[in-house]
Structure 1
Amino acid sequence: MTDELRGLLRESAEAHQPDRARMLARVEHGTARPGTARRSRDRERTRALSWPRIVLATLATAGTLTASALMVVDVDAVHDPDPPRSPSAVGRAVPPTAAGSRTEDGPLGADGSVDPHSNAYWAQSNVTLKAGEPLTALVVELRIALTEGVKDTGNWRTRPAADFDLSARQEGGFLVYRWTLKPGRTVPAGEHVFAGQYDHATGGRDAKDDTYRIDATAGAAERGAAVWGGFA
């Protein structure tokens, strides 16, 4: 090779500038493991989808907690304790016990007794009402404890039957007789008897748990009065 040819080749080599970026890219592509690029793209896609799912799951959980809280509030509202009931002026107070007797109240008085004609199979309980003034409203209640064999056999009163509404039924462990004066009717001053009759088991019957109560409105002033007691 002549000196002239060598000089031309040296000048041509010095003038060449290789594309470094393209060469590096080819080397990297050649050494990369198969599937690496695809897995990288899959990971990016998974991360992109994860956030919406996390957000939806969080919202669903919050919705569940909110619904649960509403259900708890609703149950508490349904099962709030009932407010105490106040008895009406006539015939709705809590039934008395024999030990808590009150046999006089203003113009109203009463007495309870087992009729002397009662026997070993049958009995009659008498409530004697004592009115110092005419009564314009009246409820008489007789409660016979449901001891063995107790069964209603009748009732009566010394006032006209047409003046009263009558009920006789079993309530809360008692045979209950209730006479209610009809509107527009009156009970004059004096003594009046209301009686309940019933069978019972053979032998003497203990009346210690039997009670009566009378609620009334008396006189022109329409004063309310109530008495109660037992049959000891």
Structure 2
Amino acid sequence: MTDELRGLLRESAEAHLPDRARMLARVERGTARRGAARGPRDRARTGTLTWPKIVLATLATAGTLTVSALTVVAVVHTPDPPRQPAAAAPSAAPSAVDRTAPPTAGSRTEDGPLWADGSVDPHSNTYWAQSNVTLKTRKPLTALVVELRIALTAGVKDTGSWRTLPAEDFELSAREEGGFLVYRWTLKPGRNVPSGEHVFAGQYDHATGGRDAKDDAYRIDAAGAGEGGAAVWGGFA
């Protein structure tokens, strides 16, 4: 193959999508000029072989470039595979103390290892009162919430609270909620309540005279190590 033909094929190969008809015409003209410069003997020797080989080589080059171009386009435009939706985060384990039940639902003073009672302390007077929640448990507890609810009758105002268990073992809150003065003792994580009898008391002022405790209530939720929860609740006679 001559340098001139190589140049023609190189120019055609460098085109992205070559014009096949135009290329063949250029090759034919180049071959004719080359044949005219040679003698009859050279033309007889090369004329029948060179032309088909050139045409096939040209078409093969054009076909290769076309397939390569289409392959590049296909790779560039291949869409990303769809992303899998993120797995939902596991929900937190439920607390050992279940607070879904209402503070009072009739009266249940015993459940599992728990027993409880609510009473107005006998030292209460016409201006001030103390309400006691007594808890008995036959097993140690690792979770405990004690809630005392004092109806906001005339003059009711918090004056303090106490419990027979260590104060540093509990989180204490006292606030008005939904028509009640609510005392809530919550056992801190890692602390324990031993089996036995324990008392939680709320103290408050009230209007002069006797006070009716019929709307007061308490609720206790507890759980022991490796055991399900238990709950007791009731009122004040």
Residue identity opposite 1:226 in structure 2: A
Give the SS at the match of 1:162: helix
Kindly state the Cα deviation for residue 193 of structure 1 after the two structures are TM-superposed: 0.2
2:108 & 2:192 partners in 1: Cα distance?
23
Identity of aligned residues (%): 85
Kindly state the Cα deviation for residue 89 of structure 1 after the two structures are TM-superposed: 5.2
Aligned to 2:152: 146
1:123 & 1:200 partners in 2: Cα distance?
7
- 1:229 partnered with 2:225: no
RMSD over aligned Cα atoms: 1.5
Check whether the contact 2:222–2:229 (CA below 8 A) recurs between aligned residues: yes
4+ residue runs over 6 A deviation: none
Residue identity opposite 1:224 in structure 2: G
Residue identity opposite 2:235 in structure 1: G
Aligned to 1:64: none
Aligned to 2:171: 165
1:91 & 1:198 partners in 2: Cα distance?
28
Check whether the contact 1:136–1:186 (CA below 8 A) recurs between aligned residues: yes
- 1:96 partnered with 2:103: yes
Give the SS at the match of 2:168: helix
Aligned to 2:11: none
**What is the aligned length?**
144
Kindly state the Cα deviation for residue 221 of structure 1 after the two structures are TM-superposed: 2.8
Check whether the contact 1:108–1:129 (CA below 8 A) recurs between aligned residues: yes
1:211 & 1:100 partners in 2: Cα distance?
10
Cα deviation digits, residues 152-198 of structure 1 (max 9, x gap): 00000000000000000000000000000000000000000000000
1:88 & 1:201 partners in 2: Cα distance?
39
Aligned to 1:180: 186
Kindly state the Cα deviation for residue 125 of structure 1 after the two structures are TM-superposed: 0.2
- 1:106 partnered with 2:118: no
TM-score with structure 2 setting the length: 0.58
2:116 & 2:160 partners in 1: Cα distance?
21
Cα deviation digits, residues 61-85 of structure 1 (max 9, x gap): xxxxxxxxxxxxxxxxxxxxxxxxx
2:201 & 2:112 partners in 1: Cα distance?
23
2:123 & 2:98 partners in 1: Cα distance?
29
2:98 & 2:158 partners in 1: Cα distance?
21
Give the SS at the match of 2:142: strand
Aligned to 1:203: 209
Residue identity opposite 1:197 in structure 2: Q
Aligned to 2:139: 133
Give the SS at the match of 1:215: strand
Check whether the contact 1:156–1:194 (CA below 8 A) recurs between aligned residues: yes
Residue identity opposite 2:102 in structure 1: P
Structure 2 portions without partners, runs of 5+ = 1-93
- 1:190 partnered with 2:184: no
Aligned to 1:71: none
1:225 & 1:94 partners in 2: Cα distance?
11
Residue identity opposite 1:92 in structure 2: R
Kindly state the Cα deviation for residue 222 of structure 1 after the two structures are TM-superposed: 2.2
Kindly state the Cα deviation for residue 88 of structure 1 after the two structures are TM-superposed: 6.1
Residue identity opposite 2:222 in structure 1: A
